[in-house]
Chain A
Amino acid sequence: MKAAVIVFPGSNCDRDVAVALERATGTAPAMVWHRNTDLPKVDLIVLPGGFSYGDYLRSGAMAAHSPIMRAVAERANAGVAVLGICNGFQILTEAGLLPGALMRNTGLHFICRDVHVKVENAQSAFTSRYAAGQVLRIPIAHADGNYRADAETVARLEGEGRVAFRYVTEGGEAAEASNPNGSLRNIAGVLNAKGNVLGLMPHPERVIEPALGGSDGAAFFTGMAEALG
């Protein structure tokens, strides 16, 4: 699998995700500066976490209009896999490549902690190494992760199996107490209609080996490497 990681001014998980990709594929991804207008030929495009443009205006709002995003949208529409983690998820919603929006956490604070998320859709290229219903422990680190969409959109996401991850208790129950940020229906990650674009708030790249406090994120990257060849 060949991958590209887009670097926006203010991205700060670009190296972390590059390390995880290289560990899974044996090849370092191409790091693409946001002002570029074209992309190398790759199987996966990653929008990393961070604070692109300092989160000014709204998280992800300015990065969504970066020159490179036109090329990202073209590839996404052509079926290339696009992954947005945390700020990358925010950028994808701002760019209209994923439905909904990520609002301020209900507690109003930035939250950095391990949470439990359930794999709701194990059919996608991003989640193929997980079992449906599997509960993972993965950290979140965000102030704006409260997923919101209108009722019709949410119904469609649920009906089409496009809720990829949900915040749950350790036992796998989507409870109020297991929802760290107020997201509708505990949604932690969503897919686009074609299933080739995924946005999620948790950071799988931060838990790829036991030394980091967990390795539940490792299969995320090895699974993509396998599925996207």
Chain B
Amino acid sequence: MTAALTLGSQAKLAAEFGLSTDEYALAQQIMGREPNVTELGIFSVMWSEHCSYKSSKKYLRELPTTAPWVVCGPGENAGVVDIGGGRVAVFKMESHNHPSYIEPFQGAATGVGGILRDVFTMGARPVANLNSLRFGSPDHPKTRRLVSGVVAGIGGYGNCVGVPTVGGECTFHPRYNGNILVNAMTVGIADKDKIFYSKAAGIGNPVVYVGSKTGRDGIHGATMASAVFGADAEAKRPTVQVGDPFTEKLLIEACLELMATDAIVAIQDMGAAGLTSSSFEMAGKGGLGLEMNLDDVPQRETGMSAYEIMLSESQERMLMVLHEGREEEARRIFAKWELDFAVVGRLNNTGRLVLRHHGKIEADMPIAPLSEASPVYDRPVKRTAPKPALAAASVAAPADYAKALRTMLASPDLASKRWIWEQYDHMVMADTIQRPGGDAAVVRIHGTKSALALTADCTPRYCEADPVMGGRQAVAEAWRNLTATGARPLALTDCLNFGNPQRPEIMGQFVGCLEGIADACRALDFPIVSGNVSLYNETDNVAVLPTPSIGGLGLLDDSDKMATVALKADASDLVLIGATAGHLGSSIFLREITGSEAGSPPPVDLAAERRNGDFVRGLITAGKVRASHDVSDGGLYVAVAEMAMAGRRGAALTVPAGTVPLHAWLFGEDQARYVLEVDPNGSAALLESAQKAGIPAVRIGRTGGVTLTVNGDWPISVADLRSAHEAWLPEYMSRQ
């Protein structure tokens, strides 16, 4: 490969590697000469959109990232927040979209592997995985195979490493036909005084490679993930990495064992752009230089060139700087776990990366201009005009409300995702105290009474209709889902999935969503501590719906106080918290029942979100709530049905007098709302305290029986709803 490449002109090669003409000129200027093939390869991956965030950096800098409980914000392998008791939670969400479309099983599996490494690199034991999945239309010929492969890949990896996959979301839309989204999130727990960072230090310290051997897989994976797909997407299969969760499990145990000593100075996983980005980032952050001998890099194939070794994205590898003299102690631990261990270089003070291979210098380049001063673009932005508002009165009411509800609960986006999460081991580690299917998963902090609540959320149809409101809503929904369990939301990670940033309309979506996200983070005291940007999710000029996935983390001080969505008893009162305007624009009802995607999304009043959520959390913590559920996709009727299905008991809804049209009341997706099941003897006092606090609250019904009714009409059996809700996905997946 190298020989063939050197025959072309370097400029042509630079273009093939995805560098623009200007970027190539800058590379020449930095080098003061023509870069060779290895060096050019390094420039191209380091400056790829995936690694450099060159289109998004300008806006990411504006995001709120601090709070008194934030220990480490964006810029490290993952974000870190204080969870009390001398412990921290370490978490991040990351995309593996392009590879998962090309090769769904390995693409999704290595997405999980990569995000796990980002977390245990920092010294945390991973305790939970989540994922956010977006597929094309169920009718698209590729969808079924992609769902099957992605789910098997996520399960195959997470199950084997023994980290429970506890939650996530999965929806379908034709705009993902050519580009699916696979966003994986890992949460880990570490001791606050044992966090590991990636900044190299100590001239003369050994640079050590551990884990799997390097092969020729995933070369230029980061470049592939930084371009739109053409008709040849499948031909890019060799750029997809191959995962081995067994090795990852050994790597977790070996790294954590070594981290219990004080031998490590700095550590970084080899993710996108492999050895290149890990070595540049570590040395760059430390302001140091590094000389590596590539002959010492463990290799599983013969005859690999320097270019191939540096650009390989082989999985399950880590790079670390050890204190001088601690090599043997570290080597013994990795030998115990049967993993490769090699000293591949030493730190120096030159500020340059020098690579030796077969006795020759294959690269000699300055580190800072590549790692810290990569190009930053201020791309043209065309802001998205929000879709016009849609009056509820202009939307036809359904002939049969109960039938509409049943149809919606069995629609692809609202249908139960049990078929997916039963393929994930969601209980290993024996601390999962709220399993998938609720508002948020809850995982106990091992050996304590406190617990982490975790959720992944985004409503892409809102982001499409109005990016600012959609961005706000994604954060607000995550915050609400955590709150509905009784948890105090602490921080979030984001995974920003958009189309081609060279199109001003896409940048408009991006900038709008980020603006909304930032508004919500500020208003809710819910900072962003880590994240990932995935652009170029686009095929033949069709971009994915703007999808800024939000991964939220909250803390329950006393896990015994946790609330769940399932109705617990007959003859309880149902109370709705939050105001109902009956907003049907961009709703699930509108799409599934009337076939329209028109209308602005529901406005998000962040002050009301905060007020209502804090009120609900207070009630849960005080033990005044039997069940609680946030109202989101599908509106109030769907929320109550979900509570009824989970609790296997009925409810009689009573519509408060003088409100909005019935279908808007039932199906409107107004924000900042929760349904609570409460003791009937306490509901009057609860409503009074809400009134005093200025919180809209109203009694909307009573639990009991085996049917769901509205004002005594439209009876439908909860068992019937449940079977429709559970049936869609397994039936869809079993069709040929």
A positions within 8 Å CB-CB of B: 9-10, 12-13, 15-16, 19-20, 49-51, 53-56, 109-113, 139, 141, 143, 203, 205-206, 208, 211-213
- Knowing A51-B246, A54-B244, the reply to whether A110 touches B159 (Cβ < 8 A) is yes
Answer yes or no: B155 CB below 8 A from chain A CBs. Answer: yes
A49 to B245, CA, bound (A): 16
The digit string for B356-392, where 1 denotes a CB below 8 A from any CB of A, is 0000000000000000000000000000000000000
Answer yes or no: B435 CB below 8 A from chain A CBs. Answer: yes
Interface residues on B, range: 20 to 34
Q: A213: which B residues are within 8 A, CB to CB?
A: 427, 432-433, 435
Question: Which residue on chain A has the smallest CB distance to residue B424?
Answer: A112
Contacting residue for A9 out of B159, B250, B424, CB 8 A = B250
Cβ–Cβ contact B162 & A211, under 8 A: no
Cβ–Cβ contact B422 & A16, under 8 A: no
Cβ–Cβ contact B246 & A112, under 8 A: no
A53 to B338, CA, bound (A): 11
Q: B435: which A residues are within 8 A, CB to CB?
A: 213
Answer yes or no: B684 CB below 8 A from chain A CBs. Answer: no
Given contacts A112-B425, A213-B433, list 19 more A-B pairs with CB under 8 A: A9-B249, A9-B250, A9-B338, A12-B160, A15-B429, A15-B430, A16-B428, A20-B430, A51-B159, A51-B249, A54-B244, A54-B249, A109-B152, A109-B422, A110-B423, A112-B422, A112-B427, A206-B430, A212-B432
Q: A56: which B residues are within 8 A, CB to CB?
A: 246
A51 to B425, CA, bound (A): 12
B positions within 8 Å CB-CB of A: 152, 155-156, 159-162, 244-247, 249-250, 337-338, 421-433, 435, 444, 559-560
- Knowing A51-B249, A211-B433, the reply to whether A12 touches B427 (Cβ < 8 A) is no
Q: List 9 A-B contacts (CB under 8 A).
A: A12-B161, A12-B428, A15-B429, A16-B430, A19-B430, A205-B430, A208-B430, A212-B431, A213-B427
A109 → chain B closest CB, angstroms: 5
Cβ–Cβ contact A110 & B425, under 8 A: yes
Question: Which residue on chain A has the smallest CB distance to residue B559?
Answer: A211
- Knowing A9-B250, A112-B423, A139-B427, the reply to whether A55 touches B433 (Cβ < 8 A) is no
Q: B422: which A residues are within 8 A, CB to CB?
A: 109, 111-113
Question: Which residue on chain A has the smallest CB distance to residue B427?
Answer: A206
- Knowing A13-B162, A211-B444, the reply to whether A109 touches B423 (Cβ < 8 A) is yes
Question: Which residue on chain A has the smallest CB distance to residue B447?
Answer: A19
Contacting residue for A13 out of B246, B338, B426, B428, CB 8 A = B428
A9 to B427, CA, bound (A): 20
Total contacts A to B, CB within 8 angstroms? Answer: 86
Most buried by A among B156, B425, B429, B432: B425
Q: B159: which A residues are within 8 A, CB to CB?
A: 51, 110, 112, 141, 143
Q: B428: which A residues are within 8 A, CB to CB?
A: 12-13, 16, 49, 141, 206
B533 → chain A closest CB, angstroms: 32
Contacting residue for B426 out of A9, A15, A112, CB 8 A = A112
Q: A54: which B residues are within 8 A, CB to CB?
A: 160, 244-247, 249
Cβ–Cβ contact A9 & B337, under 8 A: yes
Cβ–Cβ contact A141 & B427, under 8 A: yes
Cβ–Cβ contact B246 & A16, under 8 A: no
Q: A111: which B residues are within 8 A, CB to CB?
A: 422-423
Cβ–Cβ contact B430 & A10, under 8 A: no
Contacting residue for B246 out of A53, A109, A143, A212, CB 8 A = A53
Cβ–Cβ contact B430 & A212, under 8 A: yes
B348 → chain A closest CB, angstroms: 37
A2 to B152, CA, bound (A): 39
Q: A13: which B residues are within 8 A, CB to CB?
A: 162, 428
Question: Which residue on chain B has the smallest CB distance to residue A141?
Answer: B425
Cβ–Cβ contact A110 & B155, under 8 A: yes
Most buried by A among B337, B422, B427, B432: B427
A26 to B108, CA, bound (A): 42
Contacting residue for B429 out of A10, A16, A51, A113, CB 8 A = A16
Most buried by A among B152, B428, B559, B560: B428
Looking at chain A's contact residues, the main secondary structure is mixed
Q: A109: which B residues are within 8 A, CB to CB?
A: 152, 422-423
Q: B429: which A residues are within 8 A, CB to CB?
A: 15-16
Q: A203: which B residues are within 8 A, CB to CB?
A: 427
B186 → chain A closest CB, angstroms: 15
A68 to B513, CA, bound (A): 57
A9 to B160, CA, bound (A): 11
Question: Which residue on chain B has the smallest CB distance to residue A14?
Answer: B162
Q: B338: which A residues are within 8 A, CB to CB?
A: 9
A13 to B338, CA, bound (A): 20
A205 to B560, CA, bound (A): 20
B243 → chain A closest CB, angstroms: 11
Q: A12: which B residues are within 8 A, CB to CB?
A: 160-162, 249, 428
Question: Which residue on chain B has the smallest CB distance to residue A208?
Answer: B430
A54 to B560, CA, bound (A): 36
Cβ–Cβ contact A55 & B160, under 8 A: yes
B615 → chain A closest CB, angstroms: 26
Question: Which residue on chain A has the smallest CB distance to residue B431?
Answer: A212
Contacting residue for A10 out of B246, B425, B427, B444, CB 8 A = B246
- Knowing A9-B338, A206-B430, A212-B432, the reply to whether A50 touches B425 (Cβ < 8 A) is no
A12 to B429, CA, bound (A): 8
B166 → chain A closest CB, angstroms: 11
B146 → chain A closest CB, angstroms: 16
B704 → chain A closest CB, angstroms: 23
A213 to B562, CA, bound (A): 13
A136 to B421, CA, bound (A): 22
Q: B244: which A residues are within 8 A, CB to CB?
A: 54
Q: B425: which A residues are within 8 A, CB to CB?
A: 110, 112, 141
Most buried by A among B155, B162, B250, B424: B162
Question: Which residue on chain B has the smallest CB distance to residue A112?
Answer: B425
Q: A141: which B residues are within 8 A, CB to CB?
A: 159, 425, 427-428
Most buried by A among B161, B337, B430, B432: B430
A203 to B159, CA, bound (A): 14
Most buried by B among A51, A141, A211: A211
A13 to B249, CA, bound (A): 12
Question: Which residue on chain A has the smallest CB distance to residue B733?
Answer: A109
Q: B426: which A residues are within 8 A, CB to CB?
A: 112
A133 to B266, CA, bound (A): 57
A95 to B121, CA, bound (A): 36
7 closest A-B pairs by CB = A12-B162, A54-B246, A16-B430, A51-B160, A141-B425, A112-B425, A211-B433
Q: A15: which B residues are within 8 A, CB to CB?
A: 429-430
Q: B250: which A residues are within 8 A, CB to CB?
A: 9-10
B115 → chain A closest CB, angstroms: 18
Q: A211: which B residues are within 8 A, CB to CB?
A: 433, 444, 559-560
Q: A50: which B residues are within 8 A, CB to CB?
A: 162
Cβ–Cβ contact A51 & B430, under 8 A: no
Question: Which residue on chain B has the smallest CB distance to residue A19?
Answer: B430
Cβ–Cβ contact A51 & B427, under 8 A: no
Question: Which residue on chain A has the smallest CB distance to residue B161?
Answer: A12
A111 to B246, CA, bound (A): 19
A111 to B423, CA, bound (A): 5
Question: Which residue on chain B has the smallest CB distance to residue A33?
Answer: B336
